[in-house]
């Protein structure tokens, strides 16, 4: 399912009007009528109280005026609070504002703070707020008078319905622009926007409904949105059925370079997760000093002990031995628990530049190349980076806060600049491809805030690549199933307290639940309704 930027949505509107010939006023009418239907369905007791439609002077306000008209015609008591002087309303919004007078809809001008103060007592009597203040094109910080209005609505006990997007929420990043409406329900038009789905935007959006306003398919194809939301049906159809004659030699052989003293579990979990999601064979290149411990944790995987002179770390001296292991392998996972010794850094850099098979680089593997990420341009095969926000900050040279403010932008920029695949982990994991396309994953829950979850994901991604999936398909499937496995534990056990190995052991059941369509995401803050 497409996720749009404000620019992409604006271009679709323009093309629909200019080349398809559907007037802007018709689009606004379709939007307002569809939003009204959602309001009436979402708030069945609406007839027993008063509704306040708080509208700006732009097209978002125009949608609110259409909603006001339809609600009044349905017998709902409505007051429109216009946060501007009437003379500042233009175009289709003005046309729909003028229609309200024929229906005797009360329109109260609140063009400044003093007017707001005078009417605040009356506004407080409303039983439902309809937020039609600011739309998806917001770029400035919300402050002053509008900030006061938004704060007042958020602190009022009545529920809030947002038109298109909660006012003040960035449609690009999902972060509040100074202040943002916290909606219980949002109706957006044509397609969901990135800000509806990313955190914290999903929490401000509430339940999201998508309204068809008449954008023709050829316009969508021409604009070509580059962001997608992974959906259950898409993941299910992407997964291959396994032939009856399949055996371990046909389901792929993975190599893993991982582990160091104190971090043996990372290597084992990576290997076992790949096997849990269907890889036929896994061979681990591990330091000889810790090989026995790792073998005990991953008895179904094979290992090749690397002579480590007793210090328990993988070094560049082992490069040729590890490269020889890659013969007839389909993928190399490198980094979990590997450490950041200088000799290890050199090894990782050389594996990046010389591996003949796709690489999945995680954890310390990312830290080893953080000072020289340009080495990725020398790769001979696909490379997948799986950073959490802190690792992403080290790779890009910015702070973690900046990463979190624009997760899609950061992931996309890194993927395109280095021509790699990026999996930016966290709530609503972002998958960015070298061509600029982005997939946002909706599965997972806060119970995953526990050590080892990233090692499980690394093994899953590498496991699906090993089975012959394209890198893009492997990423989408693995990330979705990783979160879905945790969601199943969330439902069966508790909201938190389950372990990474619990998620790993739930993978087979999760695959089956996804394939038969029985999986549901119980912890999602925002699930679009089509």
Q: What is the DSSP string of 115-135?
A: HHHHHHHHHTT-SEEEEES--
Does pLDDT of 524 surpass 80?
no
Does pLDDT of 503 surpass 50?
yes
DSSP state of 377: G
In 3D space, the residue among 81, 62, 70, 83 whose CA is nearest the CA of residue 13 turns out to be: 62
pLDDT tens for residues 269-324?
Answer: 999 999 999 999 999 999 999 999 999 999 999 999 999 999 999 999 999 999 99
In 3D space, the residue among 16, 17, 6, 28 whose CA is nearest the CA of residue 216 turns out to be: 16
Q: What is the pLDDT of residue 529?
A: 52
Strands of the sheet containing 207-211, edge to edge, are: 106-109, 77-82, 50-55, 128-132, 160-163, 185-189, 207-211
- What distances in angstroms separate CA 176 from CA 165, 182, 205, 424, one per listed residue? 11, 10, 11, 21
**Alpha carbons 24 and 33: distance in angstroms, whole number:** 14
Segment holding 221, helix H or strand E: helix 217-223
Does pLDDT of 494 surpass 90?
no
| Full set of structural domains in the chain with CATH | 2-225 (3.40.50.10260), 232-239+248-516 (3.40.1190.20)
**Alpha carbons 201 and 44: distance in angstroms, whole number:** 26
Q: What is the pLDDT of residue 493?
A: 86
pLDDT tens for residues 11-58?
Answer: 999 999 999 999 999 999 999 999 999 999 999 999 999 999 999 999
| Mean of the per-residue pLDDT values of the chain | 96
Mean pLDDT in residue range 90-107: 96
- Structure tokens given for 461: 């991604």
- Structure tokens given for 33: 């009528």
- What distances in angstroms separate CA 433 from CA 197, 234, 418, 466, 470, one per listed residue? 19, 18, 10, 19, 12
In 3D space, the residue among 151, 95, 85 whose CA is nearest the CA of residue 120 turns out to be: 151
Mean pLDDT in residue range 138-165: 95
pLDDT tens for residues 326-376?
Answer: 999 999 999 999 999 999 999 999 999 999 999 999 999 999 999 999 999
**Alpha carbons 273 and 411: distance in angstroms, whole number:** 25
* pTM (2 d.p.): 0.95
- What distances in angstroms separate CA 282 from CA 134, 235, 467, one per listed residue? 53, 25, 12
Cβ atoms within 10 Å of 101's Cβ, excluding its own: 9
Q: How confident is the model at residue 521 (pLDDT cuts 50, 70, 90)?
A: confident
Q: Find all residues with CB under 8 Å of 44, minimum gap 6, and list them.
A: none
Q: Find all residues with CB under 8 Å of 454, minimum gap 6, and list them.
A: 336, 362, 363, 386, 388, 425
């Amino acid at each position: 399912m497409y996720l749009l930027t404000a620019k992409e949505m604006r271009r679709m509107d323009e093309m629909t009007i200019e080349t398809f010939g559907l007037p802007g006023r018709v689009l606004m009418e379709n939007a307002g009528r569809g939003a009204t239907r959602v309001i009436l369905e979402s708030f069945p007791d609406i007839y027993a109280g008063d509704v306040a439609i708080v509208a700006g002077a732009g097209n978002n306000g125009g949608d609110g005026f259409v909603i006001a008209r339809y609600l009044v015609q349905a017998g709902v008591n409505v007051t429109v609070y216009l946060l501007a002087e009437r003379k500042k309303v233009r175009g289709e919004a003005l046309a729909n504002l003028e229609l309200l007078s024929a229906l005797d809809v009360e329109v109260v001008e609140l063009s400044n703070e003093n007017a707001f103060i005078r009417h605040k007592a009356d506004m407080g009597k409303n039983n439902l707020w309809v937020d039609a203040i600011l739309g998806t094109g917001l770029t400035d910080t919300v402050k002053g008078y509008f900030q006061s209005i938004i704060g007042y609505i958020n602190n009022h006990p009545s529920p809030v319905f947002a038109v298109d997007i909660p006012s003040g929420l960035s449609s690009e990043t999902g972060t509040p622009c100074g202040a943002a409406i916290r909606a219980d329900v949002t109706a957006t038009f044509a397609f969901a926007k990135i800000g509806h789905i990313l955190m914290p935007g999903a929490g401000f959006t509430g339940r999201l409904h998508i309204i068809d306003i008449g954008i023709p398919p050829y316009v969508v194809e021409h604009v070509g949105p580059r962001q997608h939301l992974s959906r259950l049906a898409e993941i299910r159809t992407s997964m291959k059925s396994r032939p009856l004659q399949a055996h371990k030699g046909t389901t792929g052989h993975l190599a893993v370079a991982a582990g160091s003293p104190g971090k043996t579990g990372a290597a084992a979990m990576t290997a076992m997760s790949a096997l849990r999601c269907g890889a036929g064979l896994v061979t681990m290149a591990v330091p000889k000093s810790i090989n026995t411990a790792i073998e005990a944790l991953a008895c179904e995987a094979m290992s090749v002990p690397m002579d480590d002179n007793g210090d328990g770390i993988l070094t560049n001296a082992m490069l040729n031995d590890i490269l020889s292991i890659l013969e007839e392998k389909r993928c190399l996972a490198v980094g979990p628990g590997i450490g950041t010794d200088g000799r290890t850094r050199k090894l990782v850099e050389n594996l990046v530049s010389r591996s003949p098979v796709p690489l999945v680089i995680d954890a310390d593997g990312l830290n080893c190349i953080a000072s020289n990420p340009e080495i990725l341009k020398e790769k001979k095969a696909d490379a997948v980076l799986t950073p959490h926000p802190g690792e992403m900050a080290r790779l890009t040279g910015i702070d973690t806060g900046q990463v979190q403010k624009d997760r899609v932008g950061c992931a996309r920029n890194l993927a395109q600049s280095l021509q790699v695949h990026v999996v930016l982990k966290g709530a609503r994991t972002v998958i960015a491809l070298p061509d600029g396309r982005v997939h946002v994953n909706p599965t997972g829950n806060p119970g995953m805030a526990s050590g080892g979850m990233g090692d499980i994901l690394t093994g899953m991604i590498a496991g699906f690549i090993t089975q012959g999936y394209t890198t893009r398909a492997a990423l989408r499937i693995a990330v979705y199933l990783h979160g879905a496995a945790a969601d199943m534990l969330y439902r069966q056990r508790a909201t938190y307290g389950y372990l990474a190995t619990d998620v790993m052991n739930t993978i087979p059941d999760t695959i089956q639940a996804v394939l038969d369509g029985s999986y549901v995401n119980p912890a999602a803050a925002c699930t679009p309704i089509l």
